[in-house]
Amino acid sequence: MQAAVLLEFRHIEKRFGGLTALADVSLTINHREIYGLIGPNGAGKTTLFNVLTGLYVPDRGQFEFDGASLVGLKPYRVAESGIARTFQNIRMFGNMTVIENVMVGRHVRTHAGAIGAILRTRRARDEEVAIRHRSRELLNYVGISQHASALSRNLSYGDQRRLEIARALATEPKLLALDEPAAGMNATETTELRRLLEKIRDDGVTILLIEHDVKLVMGLCDRVAVLDYGRKIAEGEPARVQKDPEVIRAYLGGALP
């Protein structure tokens, strides 16, 4: 039996000079949950992602993932421990083919080194076959296998988002952190994305989601947290949070004092 809590942020604070991007943010995310992170632009959502994935070191606070502290770990260590992410402004390896992109994602779970590659040892060859096979499976999984040998930067916007998800899944994450995966998608694509995310959750991966599409967040997430000016102003089931006066004020602006 796994522990219910997968990820716990405790009193995270991150400042950039005089700007406090995150102030005393505490969150817990449970196993097999789709957890939404919403808030107006500049609320600190992406900063929290960057803290989580090791790009930033928090000025104060701790976070624990799967029972171990990850604070101060390098990004590749974070990936190794089971957190994979996508980026708000898509970051693919544009001049690699679609399948190569996913194959890069397998890097962290495979071992062949330079010597193995040069001598083309049995193990290195078998591993290479397995990498290719698994990558193809993942392309099928997200539904872009027909573009496998296309150059990734020639994909449509929606497909690039899917590719980023496939690449992230290739690292065998326990937690998949998605930074605005529906941005720029039309209604059909968003519906497909929603189905994909539900499928991923059902296959046992916990999802942390930053999203602006309120309909998507409300329909998909088990719980959401709302950030505003670096503070958590609400947390809970989507329907409840939606009615929270503090949240409404943050989004729509309150009455003048």
Partner 1 sequence: MQNWIERLEHLRAHRAAPWLGIALVVVTLMILPFALASVGTAWVRITNLAILFALLSLGLNIVVGFAGLLDLGYIAFYAVGAYCYALLASPHFGLHLPFWVILPISAAVACVFGVLLGAPTLKLRGDYLAIVTLGFGEIVRIFLNNLSQPINITNGPQGVTLIDPFRIGKVDFSRTDSLLGLAFSGPIKYYYLLLAVLVLAIIVNLRLQNSRVGRAWVAIREDEVAAQAMGINTRNVKLLAFAMGAGFGGVAGGIFSATQGFISPESFVFVESIMVLSMVVLGGMGNIWGVVLGAILLSFVPEILRYTVEPAQKAVFGRLLIEPEVIRMLLFGLALVLMMLYRPAGLWPSKRRKREFAETDPG
Residues near partner 1 (CB under 8 A) are 53-55, 74-76, 79-80, 84-85, 87, 91-96, 100, 103-110, 112-114, 116-118, 120, 124, 127-128, 131, 151, 153-154, 157, 167-168, 170-171
Any idea of the CA torsion for 96, 150, 199, 5, to the nearest 10 degrees? 10
Quick count: other Cβ atoms within 10 Å of Cβ 168? 24
**Nearer residue to partner 1 within complex by CB, 103 or 139:** 103
H and E: helices and strands count for the chain: 10, 10
71: left (phi over 0), alpha (psi -120 to 50) or beta: beta
**Nearer residue to partner 1 within complex by CB, 92 or 208:** 92
Which residue in this structure is represented by tokens 């209604």?
187
Considering the complex, what minimum distance in angstroms separates the CB of residue 125 from partner 1? 10
In whole angstroms, what is the distance from residue 104 CA to residue 135 CA?
A: 9
In whole angstroms, what is the distance from residue 245 CA to residue 45 CA?
A: 20
**Nearer residue to partner 1 within complex by CB, 91 or 249:** 91
**Nearer residue to partner 1 within complex by CB, 171 or 247:** 171
Q: What's the distance, CA 218 to chain centroid?
A: 18
Considering the complex, what minimum distance in angstroms separates the CB of residue 2 from partner 1? 22
Considering the complex, what minimum distance in angstroms separates the CB of residue 29 from partner 1? 19
* Token pair listed for 107: 């890097």
**Nearer residue to partner 1 within complex by CB, 135 or 190:** 135
Instruction: Dihedral sign for Cα 190, 193, 198, 204, please.
Output: negative
**Nearer residue to partner 1 within complex by CB, 95 or 188:** 95
Considering the complex, what minimum distance in angstroms separates the CB of residue 114 from partner 1? 5
Residues 6+ apart with CB under 8 A from 12: 22, 24, 25, 26, 48, 51, 58, 60, 61, 62, 63
Considering the complex, what minimum distance in angstroms separates the CB of residue 238 from partner 1? 28
Considering the complex, what minimum distance in angstroms separates the CB of residue 49 from partner 1? 10
